[in-house]
Amino acid sequence: MIFDKITPEKLDSWSKDHSRRAQEILPELVARLVLSSSNKIKNFHFPYGKGIQYPGYDGYLVVDEATNFFPAGTSVFEFGTNGDIQGKFDEDIKKRSENSDGLDIEKTAFIFVSSKIWNHRTSIPKKITCTAKLYNWKEIKIIDAQTLCMWIDNHPGVSVWLMEIMNCNIHGVSTAEKFWDEKIGNTSPNLTYQFFINNRDAEVKKIEKWISTNGRGFFFIKAESAMEATFFLIAAMNSFDIDVLQKVILVSDSKTWGKVISMQNKDIILVPTFSVDENISCPDYVNAIIPISKFIPLANVSDKFEGVEIYRFKHDQFQKSLLELGVSSDIIFSLEKETKRCFLPLYRNLSTNPIIKQPGWLSTLGSEVEYLIPLMLLNYINIDSKGDLTILEMLTNVSNEKFLSKLDDWTRIEDFPVVNTGKVYRVVSIQDMWLFLGDKIKRKDIENLREVIMLIFSETIPKYDLPKEQRLMANIIGKQDRYSKQLIEGLLISLIFLKERDTKFLETSIGSTDTFVTVLLRDVMNNVITEKQWLSIAEFFPLITEASPKTMIDILKKEMNNLKSEFWELFKVGENNSIFSGNVYHHIIWGIERLVWIEEYAVDAILILTRLAHKKLPLPSGNTPDSSLNQVFYFFFPQTALNKDDLTRLLGKIIREYPQVGLKLVENMISSREHSFVLTISKPEWIEFNDPSEVRSLTYAEIKDYRDKIVAVFFNNVKVGKDTNALKVIFENLDFFYHDYESTIKNLVKENINGIPDKQRAILATCIRKTIFKNKKYSDAKWLLPIEIIKFLEEILPEVEPSGVLKYLYLCEYSPPINNPIPYSNKIDFDMEKDDKSIHAEREIAISKIFSDGGIGAIIEYCKYIEDASGFSRIISEVVLAGKFDVDFLLKISRFNLNLFRGIIYSLNKDGLELMFETLKRAENIEWKQEAEILSQAAPNMILWVELESKRKDILEYYWRKSPIVSVSHFDEQEAKYYLLKLVEHGRVIEAINSSAYSTYNNYETLLFLLVSLRIYLSDEKRTTYLDVKTIVPNNIQNIFHKISQNKYKDIEIIGALELYFNDILSYDFYPQCINEWIGREPEVYVQIIENAYSNNTAGEKNRSSFYRMLNKITTIPGCNKENIDKDTFNNWVKNVVSVAQEKMYVKETLWSLGTLLSYSPNGDDDIFPHQVIRDFFEENMHDSNISEFLVPNFITGKINQQGMVANWGSVEAAEENIANKYNCDANTIRIDFPETASILRRLRDHYNWSSKNLRDTDEWYFD
């Protein structure tokens, strides 16, 4: 027997001994039996467990078929577990008959179920007959323990479940629930059903369909491991719309499998959890779902049967699934690295059961397990890399052919610790390998390891032989890396693991692995001298740092003390600082960052970062020593192993010895209090360390204590001198420094202010004013400072402010911090006009005061600092100049503040230009260039231009060449045309285009003239000297093209020629409308463009490339486009194109280009690509070998290029596969009417199927 039969006596006895449990279980038992008995259930409700205490029927069922245990239609159930079955039955049926809860009892069956044996004088049939006379139920049934056990016998899945509940004797079988609880219950966090079915909807639906259609025989679920396949199956079944789990029996051995099959029950679903082979039997009447590993021989046979294959998680699928379990991003990153997203290593990692944590490959390989040690040391091999193969042979001491042959056999073992992805072998879990193989390392392995590392680092990386701008193309140029980067990283990781296991090797012949690693890396680093050597090793700096922190600290200190060291070349970077820029200094910083997490080396690492920051290296923003320090000293969550006391003391040292760095750090610490978001710096990946930043809860008292320590160490170490930076930090963050240090701040000001230059004092005073201003203006803001602090600032401001014009420096900027701002409040509308007037009034008072105290000289001095020229122009013209045109004053201002100069002239001319004209006529000793400068700053209009015509030629020339450009939107039609033509006349054609591009000016002739003129200027070397080509804005030229192309009477030949000429300047997405129209009218033009694109006679490669790019922008098919569908037009055009191409002997090139052009076809009337016009073309011409050989391949490529890769790296969406399916469906739809086109669509389908598979493969690149 597989298991003891549940007899009525056993069930009766168990119900008596476990009365409460029986009350809870009986409804669930009946519910499972109902679900196992029928597939035609319409409505179903059986509360169980805690649900039995709620009012209502114990069970409710609506079903379309009758069985021996319930009728078709509506039934209600009542349950009983006590000894007096008859009494309970009488009570329940009377109660439900008197109050049927809205049901029509004449159309409803009443079913009473008890787990006890009916032991009354009145038999069940007689009892039912008598009761039926009293109540009008459609049907009455009584199911006692006898009948219930018969029902249970018919459903082994339910029987196994109940035996597990009753702790009966059971061998070799279990329910899915029990299996899941036993295997998944010891994972932390607990894996969920959703975890296994995420993004596997198609596979889930296929299983459900097979079960719901009563599939017979085998159904295979193939995965990397049978365990994962089994978990997936159980999770999938839990998600089904139909309830099938109660039919499932899991079988744990082949002997039991045979016994279960011999029961010949057609309603159960069998799932083996033992290792199956080809000899497993399964008669046709049995449902068997077989979870298998894809590595076993049976996996090949399984392809002949129905089934699904589940693939390893992709990157974002893995991330999403674990995030849903509550796993943090940092831990997910580690898990992904440790498991390569393989399920069994992940399962072992998450399991809390020590037995599960031991991998199966240990026992499978037996004594051969030591052959894995070289793989463990390498972590990665690319067999296409000769260097990798050299290193492998040095470590294995056997031929690569022999070793790789054995390795290929091993990788077919389930849960093998190395995965093979094409040409690459990669260790799944480095931690697992070292945990179980680390103690098997021999002295020879250590010696081999030293030899290969010294060899690798004695060579430089070939790409560093190239100039920096060519390094991205190193592989194309023939400068491939000799060794895989991942292999080198694997060797360094092995050094880290060796060092970490130092104590385990001390008593062996190997000795101290810590000393071995330290000496080895010291020897490696001491040989790094040249820039090329530093560049080659820099990428591995973080791992070398982890392997030997002391060595790297010593090396960095030595190099930093040597200003002539080639080490500093790493920090000489260009403007491009992206991850593709080739800059490697990032790795140096990341390596140092890892050291701040190791308490022993944290202080040295932080001081090294400080020294780097102090050097003010010309690095782009982002990953810099300053940004690293900011995160190390982050106020709430310092990114370091140091405690806050040590960190505060170290901050004092930095403020004292590197004051500029220290002050920036303090500023950032204070500002970081405003948000809790922290950018995590690089952390050690392979060594254990304590991360204090993970403790995120701080009490108010702890925050206050930390603030007090920072402030104390700041004032104890800061020095002011002639630099206001320290005082600026204090006053900009006074709420942080003020409390308990009011007198200290006053003394700092008093002792140092007189030694500070006036300009610096003015800047400091402006800083103080801004704080006062904000607190007065935004009177109901939540961040307002206490009144006492504002009063303190107002008291100290007079001591800080300089005398003279610099006292009013604060008024020079836009939105100045004036003394009495108009308050802003959310409760009332803000009066902008009143605000502007208050600023104007304070500025007017200041200018008057400066003028009265220091005269015109003081005003000129003050004008040097004015930023808001428009705000001061009117005040100066009225208060200082009293509306007079003071040429001498204006010319002095023009030397240092051109905006103010222009603004004053504009203000003086507000009532007309006559005053300026008259003044200039009367002006004595004014040079023509000075007069021209004044005129050029006046607001342009026709009156000014007419006046200019009366001036000497030099002034006229100066004006049109130097005057600021304005948009022609300011002019009427006549003025705009005059202005643009004058600009062109004087060589400012680019400015003319910029002036009109975004205006409403649309004069066709003038705008066309601008483009023609620009072409003439660019084509003439003499005229080009007048142009600043850098000021060409491609979008502005495109806008001009867009305007003139809309003209009904446009000359498409002239505009088309211009589109060709400017093609290189314009953006890649520019659509040359006139070229597309022109080639439709004149096929010869299309062929001419093709000829120029492919001809060796075209002047220069640049011109050929330009014509080729234009071909790619010709996308409108004559006679087959969204605006015009005409088959005759299309056919005639193609015929003429081919005819011209034959004359010019460019048939092949023309057909290539035609293929690309036709790929822009719109969809047909049936919404299938391409349009019927193009389909007819293919059907009529595919017999022509030129069409099939040259045109069709480019048609396919063109369509693929338009769509691009629609599924990004790591995408869990099967976008490429969906496109393939769409093309396949379309091909099947049109295959009768358009068989040739259908074959083309199938070629597109094949491409996207290949792309979909390739996408899955490239997901492995994540680990590279």
Longest dimension (CA), the chain: 139
List the domains of the chain with CATH numbers: 1-155 (3.40.1350), 171-357 (3.40.50), 358-633 (no CATH), 720-802 (no CATH), 1036-1256 (no CATH)
- Range with the lowest mean pLDDT among 240-244, 316-320, 483-487, 1038-1042? 240-244
| Beta carbons of 1240 and 1195 less than 8 angstroms apart | yes
Is the pLDDT score of 676 beyond 70? no
pLDDT for position 579: 45
Name, in order, each residue with C-beta under 8 angstroms of 170's C-beta and a sequence gap of 6 or more: 2, 3, 4, 160, 163, 164
Is the pLDDT score of 125 beyond 80? yes
pLDDT for position 580: 46
74 φ, ψ to 5°? -95, 135
Over 805-834, what HEC string results? HHHHHHHCCCCCCCCCCCCCCCCCCCCHHH
pLDDT for position 51: 65
Is the pLDDT score of 916 beyond 80? yes
Query: Looking at residues 898-907, what average pLDDT do you find?
Result: 94
Helix (H, G, I), strand (E, B) or coil at 343: helix
pLDDT for position 154: 83
pLDDT for position 671: 86
Question: Could you report the per-residue pLDDT of 601-624, keeping only the tens digit for each?
Answer: 999 999 999 999 999 998 887 789
Count of other CB atoms within 10 angstroms of residue 746: 14
Structure token pair of residue 433: 């390998």
DSSP per position, 479-502: ---SS-HHHHHHHHHHHHHHHHTH
Kind and range of the H or E run holding 272: strand 269-272
Question: Could you report the per-residue pLDDT of 730-776, keeping only the tens digit for each?
Answer: 999 999 999 999 999 999 999 999 999 999 999 999 999 999 999 99
Is the pLDDT score of 870 beyond 80? yes
- Range with the lowest mean pLDDT among 1048-1052, 1191-1195, 1250-1254? 1250-1254
Band of residue 469 on the pLDDT scale cut at 50, 70, 90: confident
Share of the chain above pLDDT 90, in %: 63
Alpha-carbon separation of residue 238 from 204, 629, 944, 1192 (angstroms): 10, 51, 85, 49
Name, in order, each residue with C-beta under 8 angstroms of 1050's C-beta and a sequence gap of 6 or more: 1004, 1044, 1074
Question: Could you report the per-residue pLDDT of 501-533, keeping only the tens digit for each?
Answer: 888 887 777 889 999 999 999 999 999 999 999
Structure token pair of residue 904: 């004053």
pLDDT for position 449: 96
Name, in order, each residue with C-beta under 8 angstroms of 1201's C-beta and a sequence gap of 6 or more: none
Question: Could you report the per-residue pLDDT of 1087-1117, keeping only the tens digit for each?
Answer: 999 999 988 764 556 678 889 999 999 999 9
pLDDT for position 1026: 60
pLDDT for position 1209: 43
Is the pLDDT score of 698 beyond 80? no
Q: If 0-12 CB within 10 Å is exposed, 13-18 middle and 19+ buried, where does residue 262 land?
A: exposed
Amino acid, res. 289: I
pLDDT for position 1208: 47
Is the pLDDT score of 598 beyond 50? yes
Is the pLDDT score of 8 beyond 80? yes
Q: Which residues pair with 381 in a beta bridge?
A: 425
Mean pLDDT of the chain, nearest integer:
89
Band of residue 957 on the pLDDT scale cut at 50, 70, 90: very high
Is the pLDDT score of 1138 beyond 50? yes
Is the pLDDT score of 1150 beyond 50? yes
Say how far residue 764 (Cα) sits from the centre of its chain.
43
Is the pLDDT score of 138 beyond 70? yes
Is the pLDDT score of 1024 beyond 70? no
| Beta carbons of 321 and 251 less than 8 angstroms apart | no
Band of residue 1 on the pLDDT scale cut at 50, 70, 90: very low
Kindly give the pairing relationship between strand 41-45 and strand 59-63.
Answer: antiparallel
- Range with the lowest mean pLDDT among 329-338, 1082-1091, 1222-1231? 329-338
- Range with the lowest mean pLDDT among 420-434, 944-958, 1237-1251? 420-434
pLDDT for position 276: 80
Query: Looking at residues 472-478, what average pLDDT do you find?
Result: 80
Distance CA 472, CA 1044 (A): 42
- pTM, two decimals, is 0.70
Kindly give the pairing relationship between strand 139-143 and strand 41-45.
Answer: unpaired
| Beta carbons of 36 and 246 less than 8 angstroms apart | yes
